[in-house]
Amino acid sequence: MLEGLFGNKSAEKVMLSIFVHGELHASAIAQQHRTALDPIKKQLERFEEAGFLVSRVVGRSRLYKFDESNPLIKPLKELLKIAKHNELNNQYPFEKDLK
């Protein structure tokens, strides 16, 4: 649903996973979506460079979460909340208003 906004499916998967789970490592996101690890890692790095995510190293893993100091995170989470709700209900936002 948000692929058009984020530019690719990997970006959508990353953002939705972080939104749902709070903090994750790349392999957990890849396993959850049954996708290759490399595109997920690259997308996590892009979002971190852009200031949307922050990471920390725990053992041999790098965990990512939203950078709450970024003022765009709150509205981004609202978009993700709507997208996740609609994904669960298999509908588009405001679809009932279009009928």
Per-residue pLDDT tens digits of the chain, which is 99 residues long: 677 788 888 898 999 999 999 999 999 999 999 999 999 999 999 999 999 999 999 999 999 999 999 999 999 999 999 888 877 676 554 444 444
Residue 96 lies in a domain: no
Dihedral (Cα; 1, 32, 44, 37), 10-degree rounding: -120
Q: What is the CATH number of the domain that holds 70?
A: 1.10.10.10
Flag whether 94 is in a domain: no
Name 65's bridge partners.
54
State both tokens at 68: 């709450």
- The structure tokens listed for 77 are 């989470």
Domain that holds residue 10: 3-87
Residue 35 within any structural domain of the chain: yes
> Please, are residues 26 and 37 in contact by the beta-carbon 8 Å criterion?
yes
**pTM (predicted TM-score):** 0.82
Is the Cβ–Cβ distance between 82 and 88 less than 8 Å? no
Domain count, the chain: 1
